[in-house]
Structure 1
């Protein structure tokens, strides 16, 4: 059973509320993503050395207790790349991407809802989130279906199948894939493990910042650079910063620097135009330009307004990187002993020359998932 304090979803757009154990996958009024009514407790730094060596060590801040089917997720290394920039190696997670942080929360929620409500789990993904959901479903014994774009890396689809999930390839881009999954999400007995619409995923990704806070001895670096497609890592980071600050555990908030591929950068464009949201959808949408950073090639992220506000409120900004910068960054990291996929190097591509104070970039996905970019 879910504890009483974690049983309510809240729509950030219109204020609608619904109990977690009976809610539709999105707000029934506006169709937007949910937030979670949850007051994070204060994590005491002095208590951490004696706790489990995973993200579950931050129990007071998490809306679910430790899972029965975890994989030791979290606590990834932090290494210096330059005197000013360090990298957190989230590609060393169990399924080789940071998405494990949120996927374990979603699958544990599905398991706790019980077989009378959940007979199968579905997810949509450009690869990494679907792989993570498939792996944790396999661990939990839950049937899983993963929708991916037809151009998804064969190495990622092989990994999804290896975990026993049924793979559904969708003609078109990432947005078409999400639409296909959402069409199936209302079928009886289905739990939609949406890393975009379900806020439990964000409460998993926020542990990225809790780990940095612990690593830095109870403070945070001045700048956090974060890749942004659907924005799940950035919004999780913003959530953690708000919790740490609200509980008096940090005295200053870091600036959030959001990084997008230049080829698909709707949020960067909106931010620099001073907009609070993306412009209304056009009757005839233009095709998404190809990019090596497939994991952040999202033309219309559902949480766009929240992402833009989080970056502005932090005093941060948006940066974009070219395809040549992505290629160069991947090869540069490989020469340093770190083989990371093109999406995962986006922040290093943007921040490699940074000298303005301590900053951290995440290396989000292993190079073995896609290979070396041509």
Structure 2
């Protein structure tokens, strides 16, 4: 497989068509400041029957990935798919090396950074992406600084520090944290490992669906529910389903069910209004137990809304009480999941008419039980 840093792939701005080389440290479109997509040519999946005996990680789908032969893998991926009810199954992504699904994208960013050999890596996060990037940068031997908002779970900040990353706690919310990281990203020699702006992250998260497709014998459920803040898992799922459909490896596209907390639901509000983009969302987020998706102004909002509509999906929102109840219900079933990671179960747990898979995205040890 060709090395995509050798000129095959380019960054592409979906808004204005601007392109940039992937072997540079340019982290956003210089014209509009928006996030990049990746034009990597034709990426294809290996046939289902050829996967037997391959490495037991997400790298078994190497034909579908824009990087090959990783040096920083921690064995991420291949998490179990377990039935919860007759209709709803859970993908246990809290069993990843750093206890969240963010490892899928973090390994791609760390591998890309390793090849670019920057002086430093910076990232911003509400916790899980930061812990994942800290771990994978440690694996790659790269100095890493992670910006997090004040109020981030102490268990997550402890994990970031344990991996040797420098921790910067930013007064304010998630948006203030992103602004601080973007300011640092302007320093020469800095790789901004943005799980929002860098499309390599999405090519990591798409393996969530490839694994589901393999485990279900070459099929997908009627619907895939995902929690949505910045939308990295949803956009990865949209990418995977488009690729599988284009190759004739599935015969229909599952509906994407995007779930937000009622307290911070700018995308659900825009979707219900029939808007192609955000309405007048506030610049700061309200408080919610689902801290990992408390994003008032996601940069990829238009792409998220379009992906849900193209799939025939919808947006659902859940209250704080339902989040609390869902965490306790999953714990009673044997799964201790952090509060952000339970929102999909809160939204679709009582479905009986369609098959649906929900991600259990992060371990409960990261945040503890929600207060009553």
TM (normalized to structure 1)? 0.97
**Does structure 1 conserve the Cα–Cα contact (< 8 Å) formed by 2:99 and 2:363?**
yes
Aligned to 2:358: 361
Please report how far the alpha carbon of residue 156 of structure 1 lies from its aligned counterpart in structure 2 after TM superposition.
Answer: 0.3
Match of residue 44, structure 1, among 39, 43, 47: 47
Aligned partner of 2:219 in structure 1 is: 219
Work out which of the residue numbers 294, 311, 314 in structure 2 matches 1:317.
314
Aligned 8 A contact 2:45 2:61 in 1? no
Equivalents in 2 of 1:74, 1:111: separation in Å?
Answer: 20
The Cα shift of 1:49 comes to 1.0
- Confirm or deny: 8 A CA contact 2:202 2:235 kept in the other structure: yes
Q: Does 1:266 align with 2:266?
A: yes
Task: Give the direction of change, closer, same or farther, for the CA distance of 1:6–1:89 in structure 2 (3 Å limit).
Answer: farther
Query: 2:349 matched to 1:347?
Result: no
Tell me what 2:235 maps to. Answer: 235
Q: 1:33: which partner in 2?
A: 35
Q: Quick one: distance in 2 between partners of 1:243 and 1:2?
A: 18
Partners of 2:279 and 2:8 lie apart in 1 by 34
RMSD between aligned residues:
1.1
1:93 maps to what in 2? 96
CA contact (8 A) 1:7 1:21 kept: no
Match of 2:325 in 1: 328
Q: Could you list the per-position Cα deviations for residues 201-235 of structure 1 after superposition, in whole angstroms to 9, with x for gaps in the alignment?
A: 00000000000000110110010001000000000
Residue 146 (structure 2) pairs with residue 146 (structure 1): yes
Mapping of 1:97-116 within 5 angstroms? 97-114=100-117
Partner SS, residue 21 of structure 1: coil
Gaps of 5+ in 2: none
Q: How many residues align?
A: 368
Please show how residues 274-289 of structure 1 align to structure 2 within 5 Å.
274-279=274-279, 285=282, 287-289=284-286
Q: Aligned partners of 1:2, 1:42: CA distance in 2, in Å?
A: 16
Which region of structure 1 is more displaced relative to structure 2, 39-48 or 95-104?
39-48
Structure 1 stretches lacking a partner, 5+ long? none
Determine the C-alpha separation between the residues in 1 that align with 2:280 and 2:112: 33
Deviation at 1:287, TM superposition (A): 4.2
- Residues 5 and 41 (structure 1), Cα distance of their counterparts in 2 relative to 1, 3 Å cut: farther
Superposed CA offset, 1:73-101 (max 9, x none) = 00000100000000000000000000000
TM-score by length of 2: 0.97
